[in-house]
């Protein structure tokens, strides 16, 4: 069974750093890209970027380029999303999702709520 399990809720202050995780299991982790998707409070889904675990090739949405860093540890079958200096506007739920062969996101993590106070 394919599963993506994300790390827990985070409460941080503006300016702090943060790294959240997404652990995949039940499939060949290295050969499926993983996407990260932001959902701000009461808003829609926004694609942030995608990483291919086998070679860490990463594509960022222009809206998120330079704002976040995506990485992966193949040995741990875990992907990461990190911020070096959080802003209050980073408050959102962040989902990881596996990208299927034709580009759709077929399995999703449960989401990680990040709350940043100013």
Residue among 20, 4, 5 at smallest CA distance from 116? 20
| Residue range at the interface with another protein (CB under 8 A); choices 19-27, 75-83, 84-92, 103-111 | 103-111
Spatial separation of the C-alpha atoms in residues 17 and 63, rounded to whole Å: 19
| Residue range at the interface with another protein (CB under 8 A); choices 9-17, 19-27, 75-83, 101-109 | 101-109
Query: What is the token pair recorded at 58?
Result: 């990463």
Instruction: Please report whether residue 105 would count as binding another protein according to CB under 8 A.
Output: yes
Nearer to another protein, 44 or 66 (CB): 44
Which positions from 57 through 96 interact with another protein, judged by CB under 8 A? 59, 61-62, 95
DSSP letter assigned to residue 90: G
Q: Are 5 and 66 in contact (CB under 8 A)?
A: no
Nearer to another protein, 1 or 75 (CB): 1
DSSP letter assigned to residue 103: S
User: By the criterion CB under 8 A, which residues form the site for another protein?
Assistant: 33, 35, 37, 44-47, 50, 59, 61-62, 95, 97, 100, 102-111
């Amino acid at each position: 069974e394919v599963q993506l399990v994300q790390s827990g809720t985070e409460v941080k202050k503006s300016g702090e750093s943060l790294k959240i995780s997404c652990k995949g299991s039940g499939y060949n982790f290295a050969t499926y890209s993983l996407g990260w998707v932001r959902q701000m409070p009461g808003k829609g889904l926004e694609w942030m970027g995608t990483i291919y675990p086998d070679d860490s090739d990463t594509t960022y949405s222009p809206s998120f380029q330079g704002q976040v860093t995506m990485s992966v540890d193949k040995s741990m079958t875990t992907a990461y999303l990190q911020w070096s200096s959080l802003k209050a506007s980073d408050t959102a739920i962040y989902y990881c999702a596996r990208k299927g062969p034709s580009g759709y996101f077929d399995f999703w993590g449960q989401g990680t709520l990040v709350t940043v106070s100013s």
